[in-house]
Amino acid sequence: MHILVTGGAGFIGSNLVSALLSDERVTGVIVLDNFSTGSKGNIEEFFTNSKFRLIEGDIRNYADCLQACNGVDFISHQAALGSVPRSIHDPLTTNDVNITGTLNIFTAAKEKKIKRIVYAASSSTYGDHPGLPKVEDKIGNPLSPYAVTKYVNELYAKVYADVYGMELIGLRYFNIFGPKQNPNGPYAAVIPLFAEALLKNQPPTINGDGSHSRDFTYVDNAVQANIRSIFTDNKEAVNQVYNIACGEQTSLNELFEGLRNEAGSKLQPVYGPERAGDVKHSLADITKAKKFLGYEPTISVGEGLKKTFKWYKESSGFGV
């Protein structure tokens, strides 16, 4: 069984590749990545693995997608241009990567007769819907160009399932964090930024008053959801979207406190303005993923923060 992972050099993708390479059901893992946000450092440990193959290419290039799909049984489509602020700053590139790129992958899979694609969706799709916890069939209006692109991915997935008889499973990630998440750049996620600040003994900036809350989810849980989606024999599970989270709410202040405890630090954060396009609170109902995929988060937020901080301290290059 050969599996293509687009964006396999990225944060979630590289963690998924590691798990797939150690799975006895998998005979080959192909990674397609242009390294715009991913890193060769995330996957260099796999270069000597006979089951691993890298294609340096871009999902915006249809020829690259066709090449990557040769001899593939399943696709895990992780490639995307993340970040709400980046999409507000540059909506054209976000649209090009997330919509055109995804359409290229879906179409190449259709042409190569690859039956199932598991794709990275996003909790941003819930937009301004006020209800908590978030349930898959109740969404609001998108609040950013990024959210629009991820919702369009879901619409295309339904059309490709209905028109071409393909199997597509969307995983709406809720604030995934863990090892290999990049702390550098203007659009870095909050946990690696907090960890970097603590390791450098510099006060981090929290956008808003710190009461914003998210359903932070350790990356191993997202990897589990992908693997269950790739291999499920439950026909009711396909052509669905699922919340992938822990079902717990953590504020930014609580998050920083947890990391600060791991660091043994007394640093206080600096509070700045809220970010445009951010929702105030997010919390997932994961009942559907449990029912149809057998998904069960195994790493709690607290345990995940311990593992993540330890990884940054030992591996990041900016440690104390």
Catalytic residue ranges: 146
In a 3-state reduction of DSSP, which class is residue 80? coil
Helix axes of 145-164 and 101-111: crossing angle, nearest 10 degrees? 20
Question: For residue 213, what are the β-bridge partners?
Answer: 251, 281
Which among 280, 276, 36 is positioned nearest to 145, based on CA atoms? 276
- Strand ranges, E, within the chain: 2-6, 28-33, 52-56, 74-77, 116-122, 167-173, 176-177, 205-207, 213-214, 217-218, 240-244, 250-251, 270-272
The residues, ordered by sequence, that sit 6+ positions from 72 with a Cβ below 8 Å of its Cβ are 2, 3, 4, 30, 109, 112, 114
Q: Which long-range contacts (CB under 8 A, 24 or more apart) does 312-315 make?
A: 312/179, 312/183, 312/192, 312/195, 312/196, 312/199, 313/195, 313/199, 315/179
Residue 101, token pair as written in the block: 């790129």
**Cβ proximity of 139 and 285 under 8 Å:** no
Residues 235, 306: contact at Cβ < 8 Å? Answer: no
115-125 per-residue burial string, b: 16 or more CB within 10 A, e: under 16: ebbbbbbbbbb
Asked whether 72 and 4 are in contact (CB, 8 A), the reply is yes
